Amino acid sequence: MLDGVPPGPAPPTGSAPPGPLPLTHARALRAPAEQGPLGVCRLAVGTRASGAATTQLVNGLVAAGCITRIRRPEDKRSVPVALTDEGRARHDERRRALTEALHTAPAHRDAPAVDSAAEVLDHLSAVHDRL
């Protein structure tokens, strides 16, 4: 169970989970999108989840075709994860939808005000992530 949502049927291999991404999944895609390949411990920090929960999250995102494990023959202890093309597309799609929602919802506001509000919300999200 991730984010309090009981697991449903497994998505077909190579397809992203249908519908909107839960926040934890979105964070799991955002971290490697912004920072490149990450180990599970670093990804756990980015998702604000335990190591065990992050491993389960990675397993689900690998099965959905959004993340891939990078196996290095010289270092069998660490297995970083990176976005697949599908994962990058889901991350970019969510970013575009968020930007669009922030710019269309308050139609009576001017673009600089909306940009400023979006910046404040991003900052508040970062503060929340640190708590």
Query: Using one digit for the tens of pLDDT, what is the confidence trace for 49-103?
Result: 888 899 999 999 999 999 999 987 887 777 899 999 999 999 999 888 888 877 7
Closest CA to 66 of 81, 49, 46: 81
State pTM to two decimals: 0.65
Averaged over 3-21, what is the pLDDT? 49
State in Å, rounded, how far the first CA of the chain is from the last one. Answer: 23
Retrieve residue 76's tokens. Answer: 């069998």
Give 99-119 pLDDT, tens digit per residue. Answer: 887 777 666 777 788 788 888
